[in-house]
Amino acid sequence: MAEQLKAVKGMNDILPPDSARWEWLEEKVRALMQRYGYQNLRTPIVEPTPLFVRGLGEVTDIVEKEMYSFEDSMNGDRLTLRPENTAGVVRAVVEHSLLYDGGKRIYYMGPMFRHERPQRGRYRQFHQIGAEALGFAGPDVDAELILMCRALWQDLGLADVRLELNSLGQPDERRAHREALINYFEQHRDQLDAEAQRRLHSNPLRILDTKNPAMQALVEAAPKLMDYLGEASLAHLDAVRAVLDANGVPYRINPRLVRGMDYYNLTVFEWVTDRLGSQGTVCGGGRYDYLIEQIGGKPAPAVGWALGMERVLELLKELGTARAPKAPDVYAVVPGPQALAAAMKTVEALREQGVAVLMHAAGKDGWGSMKSQFKKADASGARVALVFGDDELARGEVAVKPLRDAGAAQSTRTLADVAAWAAELRAA
């Protein structure tokens, strides 16, 4: 036998029946986006490397150590598997002038790639769902995006996620804070790890986002950006809070919350849970009013969020809200190949009427006895078996055998008028 090949480390196959949970989540999200007026945008998985270097910031975890970057062997272009999708959405919006007639509300779903140490809730290929509102400046849209998340948790039956909120202010406010931060960390240089030492002058704000437990106390006592915010920034935050309060959305102001990319300003937020260990951030987002300009577009404000699908599904499992996969309505039992033509004609007619039919098919050991077919019918979860026996077919009929109700009697239906009885087989 040939050597068996395995998936790349940290990249997972999503198998049935688990994939049904993914589809269910995607359906809930599509319905949500429809309700809030967000439209789907799909960007390529591969983008020019400079998009992320410029967009996310050079001194960030993603750009420094997590990107899958390579050279196109045909022409030497520097390319990267997208580590996130906000930069790609902004590139597409600018490239196609989507903001020419006003703001746009956009959503996406799909795989992202980061070269991290694989562990529960942290993979090298993972999946995000994200929403972006581009071209809108007001705090109302920040609040709308947060309310959407709350609505999604409700739709999913997801409890145990709480909202943390902060403001990163504006670049000039950040400059004053940055000075204070560098001063503070310089006084505690001995407590900084190597990464923090390196970032001390290039990007001290990033130190606040450290995952090093040994530095948490130091970070906790660092100067707070909140204390450097001017009136306009505070008013923006207050307006977001007012909408959240009016809608009964609880939150905690977390002055340490800075997010992992450089593109954020003003509102930032995260939805977190204690149930997923150190991978507790389920969703994160914020305002990024300068990114569009940075990627070469006409200056325009924007705000958005992204959630990790693996983490959301993991949390649902943890909470015991796992969903049973959808079973077929009908399993078609066929004694032998002589019945196939008639059986498959009927099965097609049923499917046309919206009935989900799983058709028996031969395995490598042949067609299978009636007994083994009924076993498969049972295991499929179907409510009834349609039995295309030779005698029934000779009379132009098929037998209907209930599988879930031991007392129910078998009956027959006429093949000629499938439409008349299809509805009774269809799931309610």
Residues that bind ligand ATP (CB under 6 A): 84, 114, 116, 121-123, 126, 128, 260, 279, 281-284, 306-308, 310-311
Nearer to ligand ATP, 84 or 329 (CB): 84
Rg of the chain (C-alpha set) = 28
Instruction: Give me the least distance between CB of 308 and ligand ATP, in Å please.
Output: 2
- Render the burial of 322-352: b for 16+ CB within 10 Å, e for the rest: eeeeebbbbbbbbbeeebbebbeebbebbee
Instruction: Give me the least distance between CB of 119 and ligand ATP, in Å please.
Output: 9
Nearer to ligand ATP, 54 or 311 (CB): 311
Nearer to ligand ATP, 57 or 121 (CB): 121
Instruction: Give me the least distance between CB of 211 and ligand ATP, in Å please.
Output: 7
* Spatial distance between the Cα atoms of 2 and 247, rounded to a whole number of angstroms: 60
Strand ranges, E, within 206-356? 251-253, 265-272, 281-287, 302-308, 330-333
Closest by CA to 318, choosing from 273, 251, 271, is 273
Nearer to ligand ATP, 60 or 233 (CB): 60
Nearer to ligand ATP, 71 or 220 (CB): 220
Instruction: Give me the least distance between CB of 230 and ligand ATP, in Å please.
Output: 26
As a residue count, the chain comes to 428
Helix/strand/coil (H/E/C) assignment for every residue in 154-204: HHHCCCCCEEEEEECCCHHHHHHHHHHHHHHHHHCHHHCCHHHHHHHHHCH
Instruction: Give me the least distance between CB of 200 and ligand ATP, in Å please.
Output: 21
Nearer to ligand ATP, 312 or 350 (CB): 312
Do 427 and 356 touch, CB atoms closer than 8 A? yes
* Spatial distance between the Cα atoms of 292 and 301, rounded to a whole number of angstroms: 8
Instruction: Give me the least distance between CB of 165 and ligand ATP, in Å please.
Output: 15
Nearer to ligand ATP, 53 or 347 (CB): 53
Do 89 and 117 touch, CB atoms closer than 8 A? no
Nearer to ligand ATP, 80 or 281 (CB): 281
Instruction: Give me the least distance between CB of 418 and ligand ATP, in Å please.
Output: 47
The side-by-side arrangement of strands in the sheet containing 78-81 is 46-48, 78-81, 68-71
Nearer to ligand ATP, 108 or 123 (CB): 123
The SS3 call for residue 208 is coil
Cα 287–chain centre separation: 19
Do 7 and 13 touch, CB atoms closer than 8 A? yes
Instruction: Give me the least distance between CB of 282 and ligand ATP, in Å please.
Output: 5
Residue with tokens 């196109």: 72
Instruction: Give me the least distance between CB of 194 and ligand ATP, in Å please.
Output: 19
Instruction: Give me the least distance between CB of 203 and ligand ATP, in Å please.
Output: 15
* CB burial of residue 385 (10 Å; 0-12, 13-18, 19+): buried
Please state, in angstroms and as integers, the Cα–Cα distance from residue 291 to each residue in 175, 295, 296, following that order.
Answer: 18, 6, 9
* Spatial distance between the Cα atoms of 236 and 167, rounded to a whole number of angstroms: 9
Instruction: Name the residue number minimizing CB distance to ligand ATP.
Output: 308
* Spatial distance between the Cα atoms of 309 and 317, rounded to a whole number of angstroms: 12
348 contacts: CB under 8 Å, gap ≥ 6: none
Nearer to ligand ATP, 308 or 335 (CB): 308
The amino acid occupying position 86 is T
Nearer to ligand ATP, 204 or 284 (CB): 284
Instruction: Give me the least distance between CB of 309 and ligand ATP, in Å please.
Output: 8
